[in-house]
């Protein structure tokens, strides 16, 4: 079972500025609590001990609210002096892992709620020896996301551009990443984990996709933030 996690919370949230002009999107209020608190509450159900929060925009707001602990989780902050992209933020964050021998780490987008079974995900990753495993959300009737294609062995074999899709698998924003793989010097200081790593190198490395059918929401755009407000109020997840 994975023991340490990183949550990407440094995004500017430009598409939500009309609703949240001075608030990082991970701190967007949902039923009176910051969205990030739901992610930490979810993680506290498992045997995780440390969560590294990769912070950037309005970092002080996140730090002042959560401090250095949430329930059973120790919180560590990895602050960016300048935007590093998702890949650069993850590489910087893993330098703060409390256990230097940990083989792989959980990475989560801070604006996505996708409460999968982490034990099953970890077990799959270990058994199949992936460099990176991606939790895939099974969705219907969508056009906001591109699809991820996998073969019969769950290896990622392609990415499809955004278009209307009646049924497909999308990147759920939860990853298991081999620490040594991401520590390689081939990666620049600033890069996109999704575009510059997953989509660029899937044919050269062992990247796995694991489908899940759990509730999925990404609050990065106003209409889906409003949907989260409704869904969480009704506890539909």
**Domain locations in the chain as residue ranges:** 4-134+171-234
Instruction: Looking at the chain, list the stretches that DSSP marks H as alpha helix, in order from N- to C-terminal side.
Output: 35-43, 59-66, 85-94, 118-128, 179-182, 199-201, 222-234
For residue 11, pLDDT over 80 is answered with no
Residue closest to 211 by CA, chosen among 164, 160, 151: 151
Q: pLDDT confidence of 82, banded at 50, 70, 90?
A: confident
Q: pLDDT confidence of 116, banded at 50, 70, 90?
A: very high
Q: How confident is the model over 143-152, as a mean pLDDT?
A: 96
Q: pLDDT confidence of 200, banded at 50, 70, 90?
A: very high
**If one looks up domain 4-134+171-234 in CATH, what number appears?**
3.90.550.10
CA distance 52 to 182: 16
Query: What average pLDDT does the chain have?
Result: 92
Q: How confident is the model over 21-25, as a mean pLDDT?
A: 77
- Least confident among 15-29, 83-97, 164-178, 204-218: 15-29
Q: How confident is the model over 51-80, as a mean pLDDT?
A: 94
């Amino acid at each position: 079972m994975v023991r340490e996690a990183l949550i990407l919370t440094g995004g500017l949230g430009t598409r939500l500025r009309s609703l949240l002009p001075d608030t990082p999107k991970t701190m967007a209020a949902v039923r009176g609590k910051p969205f990030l608190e739901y992610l930490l509450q979810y993680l506290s159900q498992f045997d995780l001990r440390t969560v590294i929060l990769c912070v950037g925009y309005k970092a002080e707001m996140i730090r002042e609210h959560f401090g250095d602990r949430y329930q059973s989780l120790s919180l560590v902050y990895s602050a960016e002096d300048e935007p590093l992209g998702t890949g650069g933020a993850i590489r910087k964050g893993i330098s703060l892992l409390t256990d230097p021998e940990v083989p792989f780490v959980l990475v989560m987008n801070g604006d996505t709620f996708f409460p999968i079974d982490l034990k099953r995900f970890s077990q799959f990753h270990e058994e199949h020896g992936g460099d990176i495993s991606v939790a895939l959300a099974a969705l219907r009737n969508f056009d906001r996301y591109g699809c991820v294609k996998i073969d019969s062995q769950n290896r990622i074999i392609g990415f499809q551009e955004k278009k209307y899709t009646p049924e497909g698998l999308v990147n759920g924003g939860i990853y298991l990443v081999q620490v040594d793989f991401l520590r390689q010097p081939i990666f620049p200081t600033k890069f996109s984990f999704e575009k510059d790593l997953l989509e660029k190198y899937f044919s050269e490395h062992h990247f796995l996709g694991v489908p899940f059918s759990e509730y999925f929401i990404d609050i990065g755009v106003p209409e889906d933030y409003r949907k989260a407000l409704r869904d969480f109020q009704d506890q539909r997840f």
